[in-house]
Chain A
Amino acid sequence: MLDVATPADHPVLSPMTLRIHHGDRICLLGPSGTGKTTLLNYLAGLETGQSRPGLRIGYLFQEHRLLPWRTLHDNLRLVGVCGDQVNALLAQVGLDGHGEHFPDQLSLGMARRAALARCLAVRPELLLLDEPFASLDPHRAAELQALIRELLKRTPRMAMICVTHEVRDAAALANRIWYLAGRPARLEHDQVLAHGPDALAGLTSRLEALGRSAAADAALAGGAPV
């Protein structure tokens, strides 16, 4: 669906070719500060200055990045949703009745769901999620994870890339794992997941091993240990 090559002279990312297929649910793991967000930005076309024509992208940034001076209703209208679809979208993320609220009136979890509604509003072929569960309490995080799983089930052709630190999230959402490490960052690991508990256990130990070697890399490079 999308083949992306990172340029040779990028300050954060080493040259690599990434191939994303329809229905890929990729979890992007790796030590913090490696450039996972940079990679998402690159895939969204934000690093190059040109957007990706013909590819509808929904991007859930770490902050909600809704326009604080517009109501949720208007925020969704601004990405091209018609009036009566707005309420359906808000209902889909559990925010029905909040259309007239401003983003800053919402809790962190609600604002993130509102931002997710905006992602869905463009009917994305590629959904980028940057640490969607960060700084949510476990209950809210589980709620949001269930919501995303539900969403993925309904849109089998949509590709998703989710940055996370938790192997548990990866196990719950992903069918493919990217592990980014090093400086400049390279894809250490690209694995399609098998299903079942054995696969998860295997993945966990593999990632722990990778994490250790990444920490060793970082220590050798003079960076902070992970």
Chain B
Amino acid sequence: MKASPLAYWIVLPLLVVLWWLMAWYLDTSLLPSPLAVLHTLQHEAASGELQRHLAITLQRVAISFALAMALGVLVGIAMGRLPLINALFDPLLVLLLNLPALVLIILLYVWFGLVEAAAILAVVINKVPNVAVTLREGARSLDPRLEQMARVYAFSPGKRLLHVWVPQLFPYLMAATRGGLALIWKIVLVVELLGRSDGVGFQLHLAFQVFDVAGLLAYSLAFIAIVQLIELVILQPLERRASRWRRSGVQHA
């Protein structure tokens, strides 16, 4: 069931109040009050640091997301449609799905050094199997009756892809996108923490070293807000637009 927006307006402020009371009662620098976090946020934003690190992290998220989706969609569809490709890639997929993200990140940093390409590659390799598995399901569920229709009416490959396949794969693409963003930005932070000298992950690392909880919370909240913004401004309108035909309603039984 989808939570109503009202619940957000009740539960979230309640959480903030609870947090505030706890901070006031404990009175320790390890749990700063919401006001103190807001203060840190303001301070970081005023110096431009917040925006700089957010921008760098978002850029890494965007690049690795685009690469992982492109690669994962291709591999997933090929695996779903061609039994030979599936037989070849399936063991690799199982291996990668069960390999801890951290191992992959460390290996790539060890092999290629603490460079940007290694960071991006680590995120991409972590994400591709998830996208591929999702899209493989999608490709397997393509309606053979519409395939026949497209054959009879001699649809070109491009037309078939755009008008027959993509609409059927759309829910799977959205699932991969949602899961992808959630997973990728978390892995990007780890990658930054371990081997980059900028980005939100790096800032969290610095804050951790001096137990700057206000800094930790400030950067986390800023990032959560941005991810929610992407969901609201890009993903949801896209979904609404693409599922217009479903909601058009059945007028005649």
Total cross-chain contacts (CB, 8 A): 55
Q: What are the interface flags for B139-157 relative to A under an 8 Å C-beta threshold, 1 for contact and 0 otherwise?
A: 0000001101101111100
Bound: A78/B250 CA distance, A:
23
**Residues B163 and A118 in contact, CB atoms below 8 Å apart:** no
A45 on the B face (CB < 8 A): yes
**Residues B245 and A61 in contact, CB atoms below 8 Å apart:** no
Known: A63-B145, A67-B146. A79 touches B252 (CB 8 A): no
A106 on the B face (CB < 8 A): yes
Interface residues of chain A: helix, strand, loop or mixed (majority): loop
Interface residue ranges of B145-178 to A (CB < 8 Å):
145-146, 148-149, 151-155, 159, 163-164, 167
B253 on the A face (CB < 8 A): yes
**Residues A110 and B152 in contact, CB atoms below 8 Å apart:** no
B242 — which chain A residues lie within 8 A by C-beta? 69
**Residues B163 and A107 in contact, CB atoms below 8 Å apart:** no
**Residues B154 and A67 in contact, CB atoms below 8 Å apart:** no
Bound: A79/B153 CA distance, A:
6
**Residues A61 and B145 in contact, CB atoms below 8 Å apart:** yes
Bound: A78/B162 CA distance, A:
11
Would you give the shortest CB distance from B56 to chain A, in whole angstroms? 38
**Residues A65 and B252 in contact, CB atoms below 8 Å apart:** no
**Residues A67 and B164 in contact, CB atoms below 8 Å apart:** yes
**Residues B251 and A61 in contact, CB atoms below 8 Å apart:** no
**Residues B245 and A104 in contact, CB atoms below 8 Å apart:** yes
A42 on the B face (CB < 8 A): no
Q: What are the interface flags for A37-74 relative to B under an 8 Å C-beta threshold, 1 for contact and 0 otherwise?
A: 00001001110000100000101010101011110000
**Residues A70 and B250 in contact, CB atoms below 8 Å apart:** no
A61 — which chain B residues lie within 8 A by C-beta? 145, 148-149
Interface size class of A (residues with CB under 8 A): 20 to 34
Interface residue ranges of B217-253 to A (CB < 8 Å):
242, 245, 248-253
Interface residues of chain B: helix, strand, loop or mixed (majority): helix
Bound: A59/B154 CA distance, A:
12
Interface size class of B (residues with CB under 8 A): 20 to 34
**Residues A104 and B154 in contact, CB atoms below 8 Å apart:** no
A101 — which chain B residues lie within 8 A by C-beta? 248, 251
**Residues B248 and A105 in contact, CB atoms below 8 Å apart:** yes
**Residues A122 and B153 in contact, CB atoms below 8 Å apart:** yes
Among the listed A68, A70, A107, A118, which residue makes an inter-chain contact with B252, where contact means beta carbons less than 8 Å apart? A107
Among the listed B153, B155, B249, which residue makes an inter-chain contact with A105, where contact means beta carbons less than 8 Å apart? B249
A118 — which chain B residues lie within 8 A by C-beta? 153
Would you give the shortest CB distance from A26 to chain B, in whole angstroms? 18
**Residues A51 and B151 in contact, CB atoms below 8 Å apart:** yes
**Residues A78 and B151 in contact, CB atoms below 8 Å apart:** no
Bound: A9/B1 CA distance, A:
53
Among the listed A79, A102, A122, which residue makes an inter-chain contact with B245, where contact means beta carbons less than 8 Å apart? A102
Of all chain B residues, which has the CB nearest A103? Answer: B245
Would you give the shortest CB distance from B85 to chain A, in whole angstroms? 19
A105 — which chain B residues lie within 8 A by C-beta? 248-252
**Residues A104 and B250 in contact, CB atoms below 8 Å apart:** yes
Of all chain A residues, which has the CB nearest B146? Answer: A65
Among the listed A57, A78, A106, A110, which residue makes an inter-chain contact with B155, where contact means beta carbons less than 8 Å apart? A78
Of all chain B residues, which has the CB nearest A121? Answer: B153
Would you give the shortest CB distance from A186 to chain B, in whole angstroms? 24
Of all chain A residues, which has the CB nearest B145? Answer: A65
Bound: A92/B164 CA distance, A:
26
Would you give the shortest CB distance from B212 to chain A, in whole angstroms? 51
Bound: A97/B226 CA distance, A:
45
Bound: A133/B245 CA distance, A:
27
Bound: A57/B151 CA distance, A:
11
B152 — which chain A residues lie within 8 A by C-beta? 44-46, 51, 57, 59
B245 — which chain A residues lie within 8 A by C-beta? 68-70, 102, 104
A78 — which chain B residues lie within 8 A by C-beta? 153, 155, 159, 163
Bound: A209/B108 CA distance, A:
78
Q: What are the interface flags for A94-115 relative to B under an 8 Å C-beta threshold, 1 for contact and 0 otherwise?
A: 0000000110111100100000
Q: List 17 A-B contacts (CB under 8 A).
A: A41-B148, A51-B152, A51-B154, A61-B148, A61-B149, A63-B145, A65-B148, A65-B149, A69-B242, A70-B245, A79-B153, A102-B245, A102-B248, A105-B250, A105-B252, A107-B252, A110-B252
The 10 closest A-B pairs by CB, nearest first: A107-B252, A69-B167, A65-B149, A102-B245, A69-B245, A59-B152, A79-B153, A102-B248, A105-B251, A46-B148
